[in-house]
Amino acid sequence: MIEYVDIEKVIEPIGKIPVIDVRSPSEYEHGHLPGAVNIPLFDDEERAMVGKLYKNSGRDAAILLGLEIVGPKMVGLVKQARRVNSKNGLFMYCWRGGMRSASMAWLFNTSGLKVTVVKGGYKAYRRFIRDGFSKQMNCWVLGGMTGSGKTEILHKMKQKGEQVLDLEKLANHKGSAFGAIGLPAQPTNEQFENDLYKEFSFFDLSSVVWIENESRSIGVNSVPEPLFKQMKDAPLVNLVMAKELRIQRLVTEYTSFNAEKLEDATFRIAKKLGGAQTKKAVEAVRNGDFYTAIDIALTYYDQTYQYGLSRRDEKLVFNIELAEDNPEKSADIILEQVVGLEQNILRNML
């Protein structure tokens, strides 16, 4: 008899008990449970064939074709499952917890493996995490103009025991027109949300969770609306750092990359910079004058940031001036002042 389990019981053991996704490779690539291993019952072409036959000739005909396809592959499927098996068994899911996962569960159980099917499949997981992002958390946002070192400061804060949700790391993007340079390809938005929830689920939401100030879109990925709303309404620590320090950080960070990529990124904000400034910035890149090119780009990014800052509740914006670009020291300064900032918020609420 096949054993089923609700998705809520699967979330916590992820990483401890292997999870098998039996959907086709393209379904898996589009989005899957974090850490799940793809052992597809059908490849993409086979799935299309079975689906077409089901539509045209009915369920029985589709089942017979499915059996014909899977029969020769059964030994190979079992061998794959055994390679990822654990003493605690396996979780398994398909799209809706239906025939594909039931068929594979029967096969693996028959071969001596302990398999539990996720009730409702991947669809139930997606519904579960969308609801999960609505959970109220004690969110604090770390802001500051481009080049303030926010991401590195957050990493230092995490090393000091703080809860940090690194959206840019999960999205493989730094959030600007230059944000993809030097990073791997971005995940699909669905997978971004899946990976994001995995991190989110580990937090104690009653304690402070630090998140970098981001727009809704991070490259091609989007922050789920319930989470983004909490970010917009959260207290914001605004780092104030001299432009010269920020330019120097960005010069160090970006100029090790191909100059053509920097040119392409500059052209992507050409409408914002204007023709003359774009031309000047591109010429500076070509001449190796990265300081000038970045200085010009920051004119646009600084204005954009200031506009976003002006739309926040000024009672929840706290400026912290940084005299040097020292992420370790900056993290200490921020954490030392947080208690006082929390007291200010309480006073403003009274």
141 contacts 231 by C-beta, under 8 angstroms: yes
| Strands across the sheet containing 163-165 | 163-165, 208-212, 138-144, 236-241, 317-322
* Residue 239 and residue 163 share a domain: yes
Do 251 and 205 lie in one domain? The reply is yes
CA 65 – CA 57 distance, rounded (Å): 11
Answer with the one of 80, 95, 130 that is the final residue of a domain. Answer: 130
Token look-up 């957050």 returns 154
Does one domain contain both 112 and 141?
no
Closest CA to 304 of 279, 271, 275: 271
Residue 76 and residue 220: Cα distance in Å, rounded?
Answer: 37
285, 291, 296, 299: CA torsion to nearest 10: 150
**Last residue in a domain, options 82, 105, 130:** 130
d(CA 275, CA 296): 12
Looking at the chain, the whole-number percentage of residues with pLDDT higher than 90 is 84
Residues 121 and 143 in one domain: no
Could you identify the residue written with the tokens 């890149």?
A: 285
Q: Are residues 95 and 162 in the same domain?
A: no
- Cα–Cα distance for residue pair 245/7, rounded to 1 Å: 48
pLDDT under 70: residue ranges of the chain: 339-350
Same-domain status, 121 and 144: no
Burial class (CB in 10 A: 0-12, 13-18, 19+), 349: exposed
User: Does 102 share its domain with 179?
Assistant: no
- At 256 the pLDDT is 80
Contact status, residue 81 vs residue 39, Cβ threshold 8 Å: yes
* CA-based nearest residue to 107, from 79, 144, 141: 79
Same domain, 122 and 158: no
The yes-or-no answer on residue 139 being catalytic is no
- The tokens 């989470």 sit on which residue? 227
Q: Where are the alpha helices (DSSP H) in the chain?
A: 8-11, 25-30, 44-57, 59-70, 74-84, 99-110, 121-132, 150-159, 167-171, 189-201, 225-233, 243-254, 259-268, 270-273, 275-286, 290-310, 327-349
pLDDT at 257: 81
The answer on 117 and 36 residing in a single domain is yes
Q: What is the pTM of this model?
A: 0.91
- Pull the structure tokens for residue 78: 């079992």
- pLDDT value at residue 236: 95
Can you say whether the dihedral through the CA atoms of 230, 235, 237, 238 is positive or negative?
positive
Residue range(s) defining the domain that contains residue 170 = 136-349
Roughly what angle, to the nearest 10 degrees, separates helices 243-254 and 290-310?
120
Output the pLDDT for position 350.
41
| Assigned token pair, 108 | 């693996």
Catalytic residue among 50, 78, 94, 273: 94
Total number of domains in the chain? 2
Residues belonging to the chain: 350
Could you tell me if 18 and 161 lie in one domain?
Answer: no
CATH of the domain at 306: 3.40.50.300
Q: Same domain for 153 and 285? A: yes
* Among candidate residues 109, 130, 151, the one where a domain is terminated: 130
Phi, psi angle pair for 223, to nearest 5°: -70, 130
Write the CATH number for 36: 3.40.250.10
143 and 121 both lie in a single domain: no
